[in-house]
Amino acid sequence: MQILDSSAFIHEYTTDEDVVSVPEVHDELEAEHALRFDAMEGSGMTIHVPAPEAIQQVERAARGSGDAAELSDTDVRLLAAALELHATLVTDDYAMQNVAERLDIPVKPIAREGITEAREWRFQCVGCSRTFDENRDRCPICGSDLTRKNPI
C-alpha cells in the first residue's frame, strides 16, 4: 500500500499497488492535478483520515527532528496515515522523509533522490550565534531570529 503526497499527482505517478491519500491533498492541488486525484479516487484510491493519536505521534517526531516548522498540516496527516496503515509514503519532500525515517515509515521518492541520512536539526541565533535544539520564534537570549542549521 502506498500513501500519495501531492507530488505523486503532479508527476503523474502510477503504481499497481493499492493507493491511499488524505482529503487535504485534494485541497493543495491546482485544478488539473485535482482532476487526477478525483479520477484516482473514482478508480479505487482510498481516502484515509488519520486518528488524532497518530497525528500527535508524528508531531512529536517532527519536533524531535527539528522539522516541525517545515511540515504543513497536510504533510503531518500524510505521515500519520502512513504510520497507521503501515504503508509506504510516496513523496519528494525532504522534511517528510526525515520524519518518516524517525518513525520507520518506508519512503519512495518520485522525481528527486531521497534523503541519504536522517538529521536532527539545530537552530542558531543570527544575533548571538547560540544554538538550540528546539525552534522558537525568537532567541530567548537576545531576541534575534533563529535559522535552521545542519548539526555537525
- Are both 2-108 and 121-152 of the same fold? no
Angle, nearest 10°, between helix axes 52-65 and 73-85? 110
- How many Cα atoms are found within 13 Å in the side-chain-facing hemisphere of 112? 9
Structural domain boundaries in the chain: 2-108, 121-152
Task: Categorize the per-residue pLDDT at 113 as very low, low, confident or very high, splitting at 50, 70 and 90.
Answer: low
Could you give the CA distance from residue 56 to residue 51 in angstroms, rounded to a whole number? 9
In CATH, the architecture of 2-108 is 3-Layer(aba) Sandwich (3.40)
- Whether the Cβ atoms of residue 89 and residue 108 lie closer than 8 Å to each other: yes
Q: Does domain 121-152 have CATH number 1.20.950?
A: no
Q: pLDDT by residue (tens digit) across 45-67?
A: 999 999 999 999 999 999 888 88
The CA R_g of the chain, rounded to the nearest whole Å, is: 17
Q: Tens digits of per-residue pLDDT, 65-105?
A: 888 888 999 999 999 999 999 999 999 888 899 899 999 99
Angle between helices 52-65 and 94-102 in degrees, nearest 10: 100
Distances in Å between the alpha carbon of 123 and those of 68, 90, 120? Answer: 12, 28, 10
Long-range contacts of range 126-134, CB-CB < 8 Å, 24 or more positions apart? Answer: 133/66, 134/63, 134/66
Q: Are strands 46-47 and 122-125 parallel, antiparallel or unpaired?
A: unpaired
